[in-house]
Amino acid sequence: MQRQLANMKQSLFDQGYLDEQFVQLEELQDDANPNFVEEVVTLYYRDSARLVQNIDQALEKSPLDFSKLDSYMHQLKGSCSSIGAKKVKSECTQFREYCRVGNGDGCKRSFQQLKKEYATLRKKLEVYFQ
């Protein structure tokens, strides 16, 4: 079981879903806070869900408010990087780049991709934490 877990984790890292920051979180976990990582990840998903929703709504508007979108994305990126969600984070960067140049379609596409990665990671982590 342990090995399974270890393998799972390793694959998450190998596939680039998680990065070094996740390791930092794990290192913070101790007897006093045995579920620290899970706690943080849960917190992340809860808080970022709100952001994702905001971005979705903002993308519906016309014309697009790029600075606002960028601001949301900056926050989301901060959260992602805190837990080590590597792929999601790189999608954030991509999105921000589109924002910077004012490419609305690019933003929307990128965001779709981001949501996908976001959901995928969540599932994987759910399995991992079980």
Partner 1 sequence: MDLGVKSQPFTSSNASWKSGDVVPGQFPAGLKVLVVDDDPTCLRILEKMLKNCLYEVTTCNRAEVALDFLRDNKNGCDIVISDVHMPDMDGFKLLEHIGLLMDLPVIMMSADDSKHVVMKGVTHGACDYLIKPVRIEALKNIWQHVVRKKKHEWKDKDVEHSGSVEEGERQQKFPEDVDCSSSINEGNWKNSKRRKDEEDEVDDRDDTSTLKKPRVVWSVELHQQFVTAVNQLGIDKAVPKKILELMNVPGLTRENVASHLQKYRLYLRRLSGVSQHQNGLANSFMGPSDPSFGPMSSLSGVDLQALAASGQLPAQSLASIQAAALGRPTSKSAVPLPLVDQRNVFNFENPKLRFIEGQQQQSDSSKQVNLLHGIPTNMDSKQLATLHQSTLGNMNMHVHSQTSQSNSLLMQMVQPQSRTQLLNEINGSHVSNIPSSVGQPVLSRAIPSAVLGRNGIENIHGPQYTSLSQPSTSADYSSQSTEFSGNTFPLASSSGMSRGLLPNYDALNVNQNGNQDWRLQNVGSTFGPPHHSNIQGGLDVSRSVLIQQPVSSSQKGGQSRIPSANKAAFSLAEGFTSIPNVGQQLNFSASDKSLRSKAERLHETGFQNGLFSERYGQEDLMSALFKQQQEGLGAVESEFGFDGYHLDNLPV
Interface residues toward partner 1, by CB under 8 A:
21, 24-25, 27-28, 30, 33, 36, 39-40, 43-44, 47-48, 71, 74-75, 77-79, 81-84
Q: In the complex with partner 1, which residue's Cβ is closer, 7 or 74?
A: 74
Note whether 91 and 113 are within 8 A (CB).
yes
Q: Which amino acid is at 80?
A: C
Q: How far is the CB of 44 from partner 1 (least distance, A)?
A: 4
Q: How far is the CB of 117 from partner 1 (least distance, A)?
A: 17
Q: How far is the CB of 43 from partner 1 (least distance, A)?
A: 5
Distances (CA, A) of 20 to 31, 57, 61, 81: 22, 32, 36, 10
